[in-house]
């Protein structure tokens, strides 16, 4: 590292430019990562938090995937699921987008209809009441005991305010399944309906039950893709992250390609003096590692700082997956790019040092 460190000291301007570039790329990757996770949670946190192993959707048409928007299960189906061997509980869950209002204030919400006293229900929920996520209560300026309208014709009393969860970027309001029925989308068919069935399993064979009951069962993780906006939104952001990772490798590789060409004469002299190729490669890679380490550390710090000062309405998450993991990937890809760039070191002819080109 002797030559590498001297280069870093005596070519401060060039390496400062490289570090600033790495800082900007790392900060951008961190910002996109934080927003990707934040937007994903804003889409799915209410579903992820369900105390269930799997969700049973109404069986879709041939060739189609499951969807919360298109699924509708009836009372017979969730009761038959509850009777299946190995099923500890089968709780109906209705999901509908609606609006809540009190006075002149209104707010969009995802209404989750559940059976009071069931495994999915908040403790305070009872017929004629609603349990609000904290963001909803703050938007509407309501407290426990307030009366508000839900949808067009329903009026409910606020029974409790709980920590925030959201579905499809809308905060959740919990109602009883009976109070939820007027909110459900589509034609109001006879008998109570729900959107999905939340299953708590103890080794049940879901495939056979699905065929018999007319449902399709999926894990909670796979159910995320059944939310209309999640797949497209998450896929776009992940594609952006992938491009940024690729760009970082190309940029770092380009910097070190130019730098290696400029110091080819120095490398030739070192080889003429007996320096082995392995030493030169370690020296050059060590130099790249220092640049990447400093740049990614500063860029990660900038991304984390943004998370600390970001407004509450910005869905941004700062954790290991959005800071340390992207930084590690950037360092790895940067080292790969640098390694490909400095392969020229092995091709330098030591006679170049004696040819009078210096």
Q: How is residue 77 written in tokens?
A: 């189906």
Nearest of 120, 133, 128 to residue 160 by alpha carbon: 133
What's the confidence (pLDDT) of residue 248? 76
Counting as low any pLDDT under 70, the low residues of the chain are 1-12, 186-189, 262-268, 275, 343-358
* Unique residue bearing structure tokens 């009872």: 126
pLDDT score, position 254:
80
Question: If we measure between CA atoms, which residue out of 139, 172, 148 comes closest to residue 50?
Answer: 172
Q: What DSSP letter does each residue of 116-139 carry, written as one string?
A: TTSTTS-TT--TTEEEEEHHHHHH
Nearest in space to 177 (alpha carbons), one of 112, 80, 101, 124 = 112
**Of 132, 144, 55, the residue nearest 98 (C-alpha):** 132
- By three-state DSSP, how is residue 96 classified? strand
pLDDT at 159: 92
The Cα–Cα gap between 1 and 174 comes to 62
pLDDT 10s digits, 62-97: 878 899 988 999 999 999 999 998 899 999 999 999
pTM listed for this prediction: 0.78
Ranges assigned E (strand) in the chain: 54-58, 73-74, 87-102, 105-114, 129-133, 147-150, 154-162, 166-167, 170-176, 193-194, 196-201, 215-219
**Element at 213 (helix H, strand E):** helix 206-213
State the pLDDT at residue 305: 92
Are the beta carbons of 241 and 247 closer than 8 angstroms? no
- What value, to the nearest 5°, has the Cα angle with vertex 118 and ends 147 and 130? 10
Check residue 312 and give its pLDDT: 72
CA–CA separation, 80 and 86 (whole Å): 12
Of all residues in the chain, what percent are helix, strand and coil, respectively (each to 5)? Answer: 55, 20, 25
Contact 143, 137 (CB under 8 A): yes
Q: Most distant CA pair in the chain: distance in Å?
A: 95
């Amino acid at each position: 590292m002797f030559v590498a460190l001297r280069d870093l000291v005596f070519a401060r301007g060039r390496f400062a430019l490289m570090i600033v570039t790495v800082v900007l790329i790392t900060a951008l990757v961190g910002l996109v990562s934080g927003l990707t996770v934040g937007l994903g949670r804003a889409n799915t946190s209410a579903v992820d938090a369900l105390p269930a192993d799997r969700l049973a959707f109404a069986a879709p048409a041939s060739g189609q995937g499951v969807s919360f928007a298109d699924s509708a299960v009836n009372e017979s189906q969730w009761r038959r699921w509850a009777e299946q061997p190995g099923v500890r509980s089968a709780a109906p869950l209705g999901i509908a987008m609606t609006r809540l209002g009190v006075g002149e204030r209104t707010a969009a919400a995802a209404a989750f209809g559940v059976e009071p006293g069931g495994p999915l229900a908040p403790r305070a929920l009872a017929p004629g009441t609603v349990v609000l996520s904290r963001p909803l209560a703050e938007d509407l300026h309501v407290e426990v005991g307030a009366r508000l309208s839900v949808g067009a014709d329903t009026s409910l009393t606020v029974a409790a305010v709980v920590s925030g969860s959201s579905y499809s970027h809308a905060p959740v309001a919990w109602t009883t399944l009976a109070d939820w029925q007027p909110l459900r989308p589509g034609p109001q068919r006879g008998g109570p309906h729900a959107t999905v069935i939340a299953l708590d399993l103890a080794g049940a064979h879901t495939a056979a039950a699905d065929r018999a009951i007319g449902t399709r069962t999926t894990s909670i993780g796979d159910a995320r893709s059944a939310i209309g906006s999640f797949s497209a939104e998450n896929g776009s952001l992940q594609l952006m992250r992938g491009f940024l990772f690729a760009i970082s490798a190309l940029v770092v590789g380009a910097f070190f390609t130019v730098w290696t060409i400029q110091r080819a004469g120095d490398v030739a002299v070192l080889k003429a003096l007996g320096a082995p190729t392995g030493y030169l490669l370690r020296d050059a890679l060590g130099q790249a590692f220092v640049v990447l380490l400093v740049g990614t550390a500063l860029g990660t710090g900038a991304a984390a700082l943004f998370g600390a000062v970001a407004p509450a309405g910005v869905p941004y998450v700062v954790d290991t997956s959005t800071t340390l993991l992207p930084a590690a990937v950037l360092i790895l890809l940067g080292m790969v790019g640098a390694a490909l760039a400095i392969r020229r070191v092995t091709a330098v002819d030591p006679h170049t040092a004696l040819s009078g080109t210096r």
